[in-house]
Amino acid sequence: MNEKTYEINSVAYQIRIIKESDLDSLLLVKNDVSVHTDRFRQQDGGKAVYFGAFINNLAVGYVLLSLENKEDVMAYTNHEKCADMIDLLIIAPLRNYGIGSRLALACEEYCRQNEIPYLGLDVNPPDNPAAQRLYERLGYQTVGALHLDGVYDYTDSQGNQGKYEDWCIDMIKRV
């Protein structure tokens, strides 16, 4: 039989709070148990909300909404509370279909419902210009200067180890 290609015109997906029972599915998006278990711990402690995008109960993306104050932007929010959107990630084949926007909007809605006036995030413009454009389209404004957000160990596809410097800008939005 010859290979055939079929199109899916509209696929329904659900945005909801992630539960610990979703762990196996989350590992298909990011295969790091420690990251997800840490986020469950934050959520259980009331410090964060872990939102996911699901198709037929399979995770296709997620974002962590930290309810801790994003201290580095306080000068730009008149010292009003600012939650922090962390690590918005959609699996590669489903990017550019609006799922990331819907996850960001879920974070904004949560902030509005809980009277958190600002939502912020960090984005790496040189390495992720598409994400920066997404946030700009959603109304986020750049504040502050480019800063080193973190240094992370990595192993490339040939097994070489290295360190990655994550240079980011802060963006905020009054929600």
Q: How confident is the model at residue 4 (pLDDT cuts 50, 70, 90)?
A: confident
List the CATH number of the domain containing 61.
3.40.630.30
| pTM strictly above 0.75 | yes
Read off the pLDDT of residues 103-134 as tens digits, 9 standing for 90 and up. 999 999 999 999 999 999 999 999 999 999 99
Residue 3 in domain: no
Range of the domain at 131: 14-174
Token pair for 41:
């711990």
Alpha carbon distances (Å) from 4 to 1, 7, 112: 9, 10, 46
Q: How confident is the model at residue 139 (pLDDT cuts 50, 70, 90)?
A: very high
Residue 4 in domain: no
